[in-house]
Amino acid sequence: MVLHICGKKSEKMNVVLWISAVVFIYATSQKVEGNKNVVCYFASWTVYRPGNGKFDVENIDPTLCTHINFGFVGIMDNGTLRIIDPWESNDDGLHGFRRLVALKNPNVKVMVSMGGWNEGAAKFSSVANDPALRNNLISSVISFIEKYNFDGFDLDWEYPGSREGSNPKIDPENYITLLKELKAKLQPRGYLLTAAVAGGVERTDVGYRVKDVSSLLDMINVMTYDFHGFFDNYVGHGAPLYKSHYDIGPINETLNVAAGIEHWIELGADPAKLNMGVVTYGRSFTLADPNNRQPYAPITGGGHAGPYMRQAGFLGYNEICELHSDWTYEWNEEMKVPFRYKGDQLVGYDDVRSMTEKVLYANSKKLGGIMIWSLDTDDFRGICGEAYPLLKTIHKNLK
């Protein structure tokens, strides 16, 4: 059921109808077996996508998630929280926060996430290094959570010690200090504290005191993806489950999901707090030679942009299944992931088969659950078959 809230005169009526619909959905919802986590990120900018790609709060199926994270709010130089997209999120706009929080029930927590790739690392590094600015951040976060009735806060600082403006000498310690101070204020109020963290071995080593991170957070969302892309200047799958014989050298051998998760565990993270990150988009490439498609083959750039994500080098699963099902399918047995290609275009992505493999791996490591980025590039409309095939695969197999 989809209900649209539009126009001030009908606002109260539509809000009542929306909440009533949500209550009906909850009455038929099922929890994930074993109380595992399925953390679903909702990205506000997806409301701007055209046609079948447009995604809004009403497109979320809350029965398939245990946590829904709003991405993103930003951070100011003085440490206070900033609204990045007022059109979608502000009370004077489309009431996005109100509608999102209406999805809450005893089995679904709605969180707000601060940061993301575009927000960078510099402001986080600066704020975390100053006691007064940390206090501004924490006070601002609590005020925001209380105002909009969120269940907790997700810190997505990408990344401590890495990227422009960060400081590898002090960021890891300041990161822990920030988490300690956040927990001291959030926990007594009953709010959750989680974080999205690097899944790559190198960035993990640079940025995190893993045992301390694990002790302070309620959940750790490990971003085990974006290991490869057109930024490499060669072909590579963005999120291979395992290494392949093409991965030569100590660094390349770690650019996979299993290496990232196992490194966090080896460094002292509680597996039950780790949510393994998966993505619903693929990394695409324009091949230098259409006949050379193997990993590490040369490329001339990212693949052609799709009509929904509208970004070269990316294709959503919804774009792949709806528009590129005629491309040749190739399964890599070593990495346990698929590719599709046609002419000089190639994309590595996750489908139902590879997502099943990843969830079974998470089960084998006794992880807390799965984090999915993000809802909007799954086949959420069911154009290619059943709606939300990737998310439902997670829900079905997670134990």
**Residue positions annotated with a catalytic role:** 158
Alpha helices in the chain (DSSP H): 11-27, 86-89, 96-101, 122-128, 131-148, 171-186, 201-207, 210-216, 257-266, 317-323, 352-364, 389-397
Q: Give the chain's count of helices (H) and strands (E).
A: 12, 15
Q: How many residues does the chain have?
A: 399
**Alpha carbon separation from 270 to 38, 217, 231, 257 (Å, rounded):** 17, 10, 32, 17
Cα atoms found within 13 Å of the Cα of residue 143, Cβ hemisphere only:
9
User: Three-state DSSP class for 221?
Assistant: strand
DSSP state letter for 306:
P
How far apart (Å, rounded) are the C-alpha atoms in residues 389 and 374? 13
Q: Between 389-397 and 352-364, two packed helices, what is the crossing angle to 10 degrees?
A: 30
How far apart (Å, rounded) are the C-alpha atoms in residues 298 and 340? 17
DSSP state letter for 273:
G
How far apart (Å, rounded) are the C-alpha atoms in residues 308 and 285? 17
Cα atoms found within 13 Å of the Cα of residue 48, Cβ hemisphere only:
10
Closest CA to 254 of 203, 293, 208: 203
Other CB atoms within a 10 A radius of the CB of residue 366 amount to 11
